[in-house]
Amino acid sequence: MVNIFYENDVNQTAITDRKVAVLGYGSQGHAHALNLKDSGIDVCVGLRDGSSSAAKASEAGLTVRSLAGASSWADVIMILLPDTDQAAVYDEHVAPNLNPGDAIAFAHGFNIRFDLINPPDDVDVIMVAPKGPGHLVRRTYVEGGGVPCLIAVEQDPSGGARDLALAYAEGLGGARAGIIETTFTEECETDLFGEQVVLCGGLTELVRSAFDILVDAGYQPEICYFECLHEVKLIVDLMYEQGIAGMRYSVSDTAEYGDLTRGPRVIDDHVRETMKDILGEIQSGQFAEEWVAESHSGRENFKRLEDAGHEHRVEKVGSRLREMMPWINAGKVSVQDASGGQG
Ligand code: NAD
Ligand code: MG
């Protein structure tokens, strides 16, 4: 059995006597900075000059510094910039301000796993990766809960890197839900695979393909939307609460028989072979290389695909139907507004 750490397993002084800089105030950045502050940790936010997030962070009661200023003030530097921009910011603003004994931290293993950032031997290198989107890291903390966190230690010249990672994760609220230790490699590869094959890529394409097939067969788009997209949440909630077996218990026998006999025909050996190919591209570094090159050359393909997604008819039908169901978003900050956007 894997070791799971909870609040009693954490030595808080490992972080209460440190100074933490959170670089970036996006999805993860705003959640880390605010949760750490509310946990009584000495934290500042590091932003590039002219950042539109500076006012939002200040209004939230956070101290804002430049990227270099924050890196120099702090002895723990959490890098929460887009994965494809971290290396350039690290080289220019972080590396010149590192002292022996400092720690640099990440929420995803990407830059260390694929050798985009190579920290000096005399700083600790840790990861604290919440297993959830940033707005939920904040919301669940405010509600008294927490998002489970993965921690990892890549370099530990101080001997205290693991305690620091645990204490940081607790400051985020992660110790309320459970903290699991991993490695940069395991976190990075499983995270990329999960988001490509299941959580984002697999799910969105499954939903859109099924929606298109029904609509093209002449069924009303509104009914197809409810069936193929809206109800996903209801089924996922059951799986989240009670596992797949619990979900199957709750649906009708007819739904369960269809699940048991048709599911394996949808996800067949051909799909499994593709999944393995995708894992291979992640492990070999091919995906990372492709994505960094795409990002550094202007993201043309990325934007084209993103725009095409916005034009898909499932979005048009969905936005109309969701307007009629205001309770879906009642009391929730919209994902776009939670971090105050980019900048
Ligand atoms: P984000 O895009 O939401 O925010 C990035 C922040 O960096 C923004 O404030 C942006 O203005 C700023 N920024 C962008 N380019 C910059 C540059 N060149 N110089 C200075 N600042 C710049 O990013 P995110 O989704 O919060 O991701 C941050 C890290 O957290 C990544 O390593 C990501 O893999 C990891 N992570 C994210 C999530 C998530 O829920 N989004 C979950 C787990 C881990
Ligand atoms: Mg992830």
Task: Give the model confidence (pLDDT) of 67-104 as tens digits.
Answer: 999 999 999 999 999 999 999 999 999 999 999 999 99
Instruction: Please state the atom number of ligand 1 nearest to the C-alpha of residue 131.
Output: 43
Instruction: Please state the atom number of ligand 1 nearest to the C-alpha of residue 51.
Output: 11
Nearest 5°: CA angle at 156, between 152 and 5?
40
| Residue entry with tokens 């999960």 | 194
Cα dihedral across residues 45, 47, 49, 55: positive or negative: negative
Q: Which residues contact 82 (CB under 8 A, 6 or more apart)?
A: 26, 295
pLDDT at 237 over 80: yes
Distance 63 CA to ligand 2 centre (A): 28
Give the bridge partners for 77, in sequence order.
21, 104
The rounded distance, in Å, linking the Cα atoms of 56 and 341 is 10
The rounded distance, in Å, linking the Cα atoms of 285 and 302 is 19
Residues with CB under 5 A from ligand 2 (ion): 191
Q: Which residues contact 247 (CB under 8 A, 6 or more apart)?
A: 235, 238, 239
Element containing residue 25 per DSSP (H, E): none
Ligand lying closest to the C-alpha of residue 87: 1
Element containing residue 327 per DSSP (H, E): none
The pLDDT tens digits of the residues spanning 100-112 come to 999 999 999 999 9
* pLDDT reported for residue 341: 41
Q: Are strands 179-182 and 4-5 parallel, antiparallel or unpaired?
A: antiparallel
Contact 282, 193 (CB under 8 A): yes
Evaluate if pTM is beyond 0.85.
Answer: yes
Burial class (CB in 10 A: 0-12, 13-18, 19+), 281: middle
Give the closest residue (by CA) to ligand 1 atom 25: 27
**What stretches of the chain adopt beta strand conformation (E)?**
4-5, 20-23, 43-47, 63-66, 76-79, 103-106, 124-130, 149-155, 179-182
Residues with CB under 6 A from ligand 1: 24-29, 48, 53, 80-83, 85, 89, 107-108, 129-130, 133-134, 342-343
Give the closest residue (by CA) to ligand 1 atom 38: 133
Give the bridge partners for 44, in sequence order.
21, 63
The pLDDT tens digits of the residues spanning 169-217 come to 999 999 999 999 999 999 999 999 999 999 999 999 999 999 999 999 9
| Residue entry with tokens 């939230």 | 60
The pLDDT tens digits of the residues spanning 122-134 come to 999 999 999 999 9
The rounded distance, in Å, linking the Cα atoms of 244 and 264 is 14
Give the closest residue (by CA) to ligand 1 atom 33: 108
* pLDDT reported for residue 260: 98
The DSSP line for 172-213 is TTHHHH-EEEE-HHHHHHHHHHHIIIIITHHHHHHHHHHHHH
* pLDDT reported for residue 326: 87
- Of residues 30, 93, 108, 135, which has the active-site annotation? 108
Element containing residue 123 per DSSP (H, E): none
Distance 17 CA to ligand 1 centre (A): 26
Distance 84 CA to ligand 2 centre (A): 15
